[in-house]
Amino acid sequence: MVLLDLKLPKVDGLEVLKEMKKNPRTMSIPVVILTSSKEEKDMVSGYQLGVNSYIQKPVDFEQFRETVGQVGLYWLVVNEPPPQNAFRPK
């Protein structure tokens, strides 16, 4: 899982997400946007580009840590990943 901020120092986080989702090697990695942006357009763009979740800061750190731990367990134990060749061009 990738935690992605939209307000990065040298590149726009939405551009990072766009590049991740078009690359066959990274497109299936779950991405959570964790940002201070309150702009609805950022949220809409994130979901249109394939983000799995959008969280606005500030968040309660302990609650967030517990939630991420549970999500991590889901991705490691319960989730069935796609086959390795699922995203290769045909």
Report the pLDDT averaged over residues 39-62: 92
Judged by phi (left if over 0) then psi (alpha if -120 to 50, else beta), residue 2 lies in beta
Read off the pTM: 0.75
pLDDT of res. 59: 85
Is 64 inside a domain boundary? yes
60 lies in some domain = yes
Is 86 a member of any domain?
Answer: no
Residue 81 has pLDDT above 80, yes or no: no
Q: Which residue range(s) make up the domain with 27?
A: 2-78
Q: Residue 90 — pLDDT band, cuts 50, 70, 90?
A: low
Residue 61: pLDDT over 90:
no
Residue 85 lies in a domain: no
Tell me, yes or no, whether 57 lies in a domain: yes
Domain count, the chain: 1
Within-domain flag for 72: yes
Average pLDDT estimate for 48-67: 88
Q: Which CATH number fits the domain that encloses residue 44?
A: 3.40.50.2300
Helix-, strand-, coil-residue percentages of the chain, each rounded to 5: 40, 15, 45
Token pair 């983000």: residue? 51
Domain assignment of residue 88, yes or no: no
